[in-house]
Homo-oligomer: A and B are copies of this chain.
Amino acid sequence: MTLCNGKENHKKTHPERFGGGDDSRPKSKRRITSFDVAKEAGVSRSTVSAVINKNTKVGISESTTQKVLSAAARLGYIPKLAARSISSHRSYAIGLISCWQSNSYMLTRPLRGMMQYLRQEEYSLTLCDLGSADMTKSAAIAVKYFLEGRIDGLIIILRTNAPEEEVASALDLLRRENMPLVLVNTAVEEPDIDEVNCDNLHAGYIATKHLISCGHRDIAFIYRRQNAENCSLAEEGRYRGYIKALEEAGIEPPEDYVVRLPDQEFDVKQGSDALHYLMNNDGARRRPSAVYTLNDTVALGVIYAAAKAGLHLPEDLAIVGNDDMEGSRLLCPALTSVAQPLQQMGEEAARLLKQRIEGTGPDHPVKLTLPCHLVIRESCGWSGQAEVEREEQS
């Protein structure tokens, strides 16, 4: 009878899979348990458990620790997670919900950071739901996993434009079960939950400041807001940074250079539309000589439209994007863009969640804000160096 394999007709179906490997790694019939390790090391099972779990509450002598560890290694002992789980009430797995589709860099980059961190911490990552239109449904899945004991906590990667009420009701569902939670990219401030964001105000600030450094004064800003009250923190932050940089340079924030896109999926077409709007301005002032867009996809649309309108970049129009999307460096001209530390955000989110799960976190909700930096390429005609370094360090 083979381990963890209820049906043995595998043996009949794939005889090749059972051929010659048995002598190289002698498979005992029985699973190695903590009992075996205890016997081998000449101690008790609870001592083994304490050593394996690095339990500091009960002091184990160094020599005993080594005895147990070497015995475990000798026997190839791998603790059964289900058994640990049933008595420790932990699954050593965390769940992930992303409001972004599975191919979005807003998911994949943080994901890398999470996996890297969790692997070294002996946690695994279970996908709950990706790119769902209905956050409440996603939350329900996570709740089920939590109640089953599949996951110990949850990271949620939010969209900046997620409907406020939907987020609130989804979070309530999770709070009700007292599930450890960390939010990445918070759209709405939740005072009682750990959050990891990047410094969007600074993003808008360094982007705009760079354009000013390149000699521009007529700088447009393209973003999106749901409505006057309910705008996403991320985009509003970038807007405020844009305003701040202009004001510092003594430029009056030009209201008719600010384009508010309708609230829908980002698309290159939105960028084209925005540029057309800016070009056909009512003539009260010059057309902008530079644009900062809330992301690179929209910037791509601006580039397309500008090329079609016969504008040469960056001479006729300078442009800065946001997010440093893959592919932005391949554009003509290669796009200057504000990079978010997405991988690091994922790692920090995982770290915070682990602390919450294990109760080792601070007594107050943690609000992490990580710095962005500017990736300078060709789309603004910048040729300097010093400025670059200064911005990147900040």
Contacts and interface: CB of A to CB of B under 8 A. Distances in A.
Interface string A136-152: 00000100111111101
Interface string A19-50: 00100110000000000000000000000000
Specify which of A13, A18, A326, A356 lies most central, judged by the most chain B CB atoms within 10 Å of its CB. Answer: A13
Contacts of A284: none
A191 interface: yes
A10 B365 CA distance: 10
Given A81-B150, A178-B2, A364-B13, A112 B119 contact: no
A157 to B, nearest CB: 13
Residue among A6, A101, A111 facing the most chain B CB atoms (10 A cut-off)? A6
A71 to B, nearest CB: 17
B108 A103 contact: yes
A285 to B, nearest CB: 32
Interface stretch (A124-132, A209-217, A333-341): A124-132
Interface residues of A, number: 76
A16 to B, nearest CB: 4
A363 interface: yes
Contacts of A230: none
Given A88-B6, A130-B115, A150-B124, A25 B176 contact: yes
A364 B16 CA distance: 11
Nearest to A91: B82
Interface in A116-174: 119, 124-127, 129-131, 141, 144-150, 152, 172
Contacts of A326: 103
Contact of A12 (B3, B85, B192, B363): B363
A268 interface: yes
B145 A124 contact: yes
A4 B146 contact: yes
Contact of A21 (B82, B149, B176, B365): B176
A24 B146 CA distance: 19
A78 interface: yes
A9 interface: yes
A382 interface: no
A93 B178 contact: no
A115 B145 CA distance: 14
A359 B6 contact: yes
A6 B89 contact: yes
B192 A14 contact: yes
Contacts of A83: 82, 86
A115 B327 CA distance: 28
A4 to B, nearest CB: 5
25 contacts: A3-B177, A4-B89, A6-B89, A7-B358, A9-B363, A10-B180, A16-B191, A16-B192, A17-B175, A17-B178, A78-B144, A81-B149, A82-B85, A82-B149, A83-B86, A86-B86, A93-B150, A103-B105, A108-B108, A111-B130, A124-B126, A124-B127, A124-B150, A125-B126, A126-B126
Interface of A: 2-7, 9-10, 12-14, 16-18, 21, 24-25, 78-83, 85-86, 88-91, 93, 101-103, 105, 108-109, 111-112, 115, 119, 124-127, 129-131, 141, 144-150, 152, 172, 175-178, 180, 191-192, 268, 326-327, 330, 356, 358-359, 361-365
Given A13-B365, A81-B148, A82-B82, 8 more contacts: A3-B178, A10-B178, A10-B359, A12-B363, A13-B363, A78-B147, A93-B126, A112-B131
